[in-house]
Structure formats: structure tokens, C-alpha cells
Amino acid sequence: MMARLRRIAPSAYIWLFLAAVYFVLPLLATFLFSLRSNQTGKCCTLHSYGWVIHNGDFWHTLKISFVLALETIVICLVLFVPTVYWVHLKVPRLRPVIAFIALVPFVVPPIVMVIGLLNVYRGTPAWFYDKPWGILCAVYVILAFPYMFFALDAGFRSIDVHTLTEASQSLGASWPTTLFKVILPNIRVAALAGSFLALAIVMGEFTIANLAQFHTFPIFLQYVNETQAYPAGAVTLMSFGITWAAMLSLLFVGRGRGARPTLIAGGR
């Protein structure tokens, strides 16, 4: 009986093979491409990887994007965790309204959004308008809103917010204590999922940064792509690796210390 249950149909292997080919083949091709010499065009050298690692712009733009991502994540968490908590606890009828608003960044094309936002923010102080930490971060928070909202929403749905809050309060806990000691640890995986989705957005966002004329990592990626064929392959694979490292760290941190992990819809 067990053997029959465990038996995998031959067609499943075919589909698995096709899926693997679909995902792995481009990566393999890019890797082989990146091993070619920039001078001779022949395989195999790590020169492109050396070029990337020793390129000051690579590290500079990577740092800008990571700091931007961190800033975006912090602002998103500070804004959305208490908001989603409050909505679930006190005004659940507003949840569909906020969910609808959260869809706006998906509906409005980036080009329209960036032009609109640049006009809205025109006239703001230079420290905000001229620096990526200001205006770009503000735009990224808007872009990350749906991902963060739906991840947190799924997290809050998976716990009994009312009972946990009331249990905590009946034991003498204040609102901040309840939020930080009781609620937040139980939606930790949801918050992490939202955070890494935000990280992925910031690390890959090109249109807005380009139109706002900030040099972020995707801008560097595009520049290399246009000017250096083989290093472009190397930098693409490296950015892919960085994203995967972020996702794996989510899995690692989210495992917790024995508590049942929160189920995340929309998490990766």
C-alpha cells in the first residue's frame, strides 16, 4: 500500500525534467557565457567575475540598493505592522478597503507612478528630493505596500489576534508589550516574507531609479549589460545569487526555536 502511494508516475519525471531544463538551462547558459574572455571571447576564465568584484561601482551601487532596501523594510514594518494589527483588531470592515488600495501599485504603470510622484514631491527639501534615501525610498515603500500588506494580512489571519491581545492585556501587558512580545513574534515569518519581497523589489527596480536619475544596483546592471557582454553575465548571476541568499536567510530565520511557524500565503 505504502509502496503504491510512494510510486511516482513516469510522466511526473518528464515534467520535472522539463521544469528543471526551463529554469536551469538559462542559468547554465549565462554561466558559460560569463566564463568567456572579454578579449578573445573564448572559454574559460573567471576574468568577468574578477572585473565585477574589482569594480567600485558594483559595490557602491550594491550598497545604495541594500541600504535603500533596509530603509524601505524598516519604514514598511513600522507603518504596516501596527496598521494591519489595528485593522484586524478594531476595524476589520476596513480590511477589504485597504486590500483594494494595496492593489493600486499593481494597477498604475511605473512610468505613470514615477511621473506623478516626482511632481508630487517637487518642492520638497533637497535632502529629500535629491537623495535616494528620501524620495526613492518613499516611492519604494509605495511599491512594497501590496507585498508587505498581503504578507502581514496572511500572518494576522493565521493567529487569533483578539484572544491573544485580550489574554496579554488581562495579564497586565500594555499595548506596546502586547505588540512586541505577543503579536510580533507570532507574525515573524509573515513580516520576514514581506521584508524580503520588499528587498527583492528594491534590488530589481529600474524604471523609477532611472527616471529619477539615481545610480542604484539595477542601473549598474543595465549599464554593464549595454557595455560589457561577458561581465554582464557574471553580474546577473551574482545578483541572482544575492537574491537567493536573502531568500534562504528567510527560511533560516523563519524556522524559529520550536514554535509552530506561521503559514504565509504569498511568502516564498
Partner 1 sequence: MAYLELKGLERDFGTVKALDGIEISLDQGEFLSLLGPSGCGKTTALRLVAGFDRPDKGSIVVDGKDVTHVSPSKRDMGMVFQAYSLFPNMTASQNVEFGLKIRGRHRGDRHKRVGELLELVGLAQAGDRYPHQLSGGMQQRVALARALAIEPRVLLLDEPLSALDAKVRLQLREEIRRIQLELGITTLYVTHDQEEALSISDHVAVMYSGRIEQMGSPAEMYSSPATPFVAEFIGTMNRLEATVLDGGTGAVEYGGVTLTVNAARDRARGSRVLVLVRPETVELVPANGDGDPNTLVGDVVTQTFLGPVTRLKVLGPGTDLIADVATAKAATLPVGTRVTATVPAEGARLLELSDEEPLPSIPEEPGPSGQ
Residues that bind partner 1 (CB under 8 A): 159-160, 163-164, 166-174, 177, 181-182, 185-186, 188, 256, 258-260
Shortest Å, Cβ 89 to partner 1: 11
Which residue, 142 or 173, is less far from partner 1 as judged by CB? Answer: 173
Shortest Å, Cβ 165 to partner 1: 9
- Sequential DSSP letters for the chain: -HHHHHPPPHHHHHHHHHHHHHHHHHHHHHHHHHTB-TTT--B--SHHHHHHHT-HHHHHHHHHHHHHHHHHHHHHHHHHHHHHHHHHHT-GGGHHHHHHHHTHHHHS-HHHHHHHHHHHHTTS-HHHHSSIIIIIHHHHHHHHHHHHHHHHHHHHHTS-HHHHHHHHHHTT--HHHIIIIIIHHHTHHHHHHHHHHHHHHHHH--HHHHHTT---HHHHHHHHHHH-HHHHHHHHHHHHHHHHHHHHHHHHHHTTTSSPPPP-SS--
Which residue, 164 or 242, is less far from partner 1 as judged by CB? Answer: 164
Which residue, 231 or 267, is less far from partner 1 as judged by CB? Answer: 267
Long-range contacts of 222-228 (CB under 8 A, 24+ apart): 223/57, 224/52, 228/38, 228/48, 228/51
Which residue, 27 or 263, is less far from partner 1 as judged by CB? Answer: 263
Shortest Å, Cβ 78 to partner 1: 21
Which residue, 73 or 189, is less far from partner 1 as judged by CB? Answer: 189
Shortest Å, Cβ 171 to partner 1: 4
Shortest Å, Cβ 261 to partner 1: 10
Peptide bond before 44: cis, by omega within 30 degrees of 0? yes
Shortest Å, Cβ 222 to partner 1: 43
Which residue, 63 or 181, is less far from partner 1 as judged by CB? Answer: 181
Which residue, 120 or 167, is less far from partner 1 as judged by CB? Answer: 167
Which residue, 116 or 256, is less far from partner 1 as judged by CB? Answer: 256
Shortest Å, Cβ 172 to partner 1: 4
Shortest Å, Cβ 62 to partner 1: 34
State the virtual CA torsion across 17, 20, 25, 31 in degrees, nearest 10. Answer: -130
Residues 6+ apart with CB under 8 A from 44: 35, 36
